[in-house]
């Protein structure tokens, strides 16, 4: 059955091309799964290295082992020819399509190729992954963190994964530096800045429920819309301004109360309920 390369993501196509190049460089007549695994590990901007890191595996250590195995493969001398796909590699690619179908993805991506490697029987690439603890189940679990609920609906899904990863890195860096929330650093889950004063619509209100020092109110009044369960037009939640503009102070976490608890109330106050920062004592 012919392989539909048009149903591979850009990264997956590049991995196969790089695998073929590795086979040629080493004088290997066949493109083996081990070549493809090397290509997946070499791509520092791809999803495979962070998936292995989530499992607790160093991608470079695996790659070094893979390189050693490639060095031991049979070689042919003379003019280099285009390597042919080994039977095991064909099985790998067919399994990758099944993995994409299991995910209900429209394209075969690099994570599907990685999962497919773990399904091979008595193959060196599969054995190396197992040796380091990169089993099928371990990779699936890590993918839920790295990939989330994203679906592969185009040929460049990694850009979405990277946006989420960048968002997580940014939040970690903000926490390291301390109270650094302001318009350029207050990002949504896509890594985008949120509208503030001067933008249309203005969405600088953040639901916090906290005092200026970040602790919960102790006056017995409701400052959290019934502990964040109410969407009534009555009630109130304390708000902060992520752009530190307006409200008479520059606090990001305690500027003024909302005019109610419904989504309409939040929008009319100057927000959209996009941020939730829960205060603790």
Domain CATH number, residue 63: 1.10.1780.10
Q: What does the block give as tokens for 145? A: 């963190």
Asked if 23 and 132 sit in the same domain, the reply is: yes
Q: What is the pLDDT of residue 281?
A: 38
Are residues 138 and 17 located together in one domain of the fold?
Answer: yes
Rounded Cα–Cα distance for residues 40 and 128 (Å)? 14
Rg of the chain taking only CA atoms, in angstroms: 25
* Whether residue 151 is found in the same domain as residue 216: no
Can you give the pLDDT at residue 198?
76
pLDDT of residue 145: 84
Number of domains in the chain: 2
- pLDDT number for residue 108: 97
Q: How far apart are the first and last CA of the chain?
A: 63
Any idea which residue has 């997956």 for tokens? Answer: 12
Residues 122 and 251 both lie in one domain: no
Tell me: do 149 and 232 sit in the same domain.
Answer: no
Residue 195: alpha-carbon gap to chain centroid: 24
pLDDT the model gives residue 175? 47
- 14 plus 144 within the same structural domain: yes
Cα(188)–Cα(172) distance, rounded to whole angstroms? 14
- pLDDT at site 277: 45
d(CA 54, CA 76): 38
Inside any domain, residue 266: yes
> Residue 272, class by beta-carbon neighbours within 10 Å (0-12 exposed, 13-18 middle, 19+ buried)?
middle
* Structural domain includes residue 142: yes
Q: Strands 84-85 and 30-31: what pairing?
A: parallel
Closest CA to 9 of 153, 162, 163, 160: 153
List the beta strands (DSSP E) in 142-231: 205-207
Provide CB contacts within 8 A for 185, sequence distance 6+.
170, 174
Q: What is the pLDDT of residue 12?
A: 95
Q: Are residues 145 and 221 in the same domain?
A: no
- Look at residue 172 in the predicted model and tell me its pLDDT: 46
The answer on 24 and 145 residing in a single domain is yes
Which structural domain, as residue segments, surrounds residue 216?
A: 205-276
What residues of the chain score a pLDDT lower than 50?
Answer: 167, 169-177, 276-281
């Amino acid at each position: 059955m012919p392989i539909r390369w048009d149903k591979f993501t850009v990264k997956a196509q590049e991995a196969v091309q790089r695998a073929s190049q590795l086979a040629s460089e080493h004088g290997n007549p066949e493109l083996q799964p081990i070549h493809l695994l090397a290509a997946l590990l070499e791509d520092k901007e791809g999803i495979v290295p962070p998936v292995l890191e989530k499992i607790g595996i160093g991608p470079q250590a695996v790659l070094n082992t893979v390189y050693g195995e490639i060095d031991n493969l049979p070689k042919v001398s003379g003019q280099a020819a285009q390597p042919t796909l080994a039977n095991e590699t064909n099985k790998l690619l067919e399994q990758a399509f099944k993995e994409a179908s299991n995910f209900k993805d429209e394209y075969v991506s690099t994570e599907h190729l990685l999962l497919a490697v773990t399904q091979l029987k008595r193959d060196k690439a599969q054995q190396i992954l197992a040796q380091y603890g990169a089993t099928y189940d371990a990779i699936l679990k890590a993918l839920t963190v790295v990939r989330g609920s994203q679906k592969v609906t185009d040929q460049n899904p990694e850009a979405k994964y990277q946006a989420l990863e960048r968002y997580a890195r940014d939040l970690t860096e903000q926490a390291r530096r301390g109270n650094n929330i302001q318009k350029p650093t207050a990002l949504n889950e896509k890594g985008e800045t949120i509208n503030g004063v001067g933008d249309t619509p203005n969405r600088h209100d953040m639901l916090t429920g906290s005092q200026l020092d970040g602790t919960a109110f102790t006056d017995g009044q409701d400052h959290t819309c019934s502990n964040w369960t109410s969407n009534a037009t009555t009630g109130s939640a304390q708000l902060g301004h992520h752009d530190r503009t307006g409200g008479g102070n520059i606090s990001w976490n305690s500027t003024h109360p909302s005019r109610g608890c419904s989504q309409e109330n939040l929008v009319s106050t100057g927000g959209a309920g996009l941020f939730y920062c829960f205060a603790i004592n």
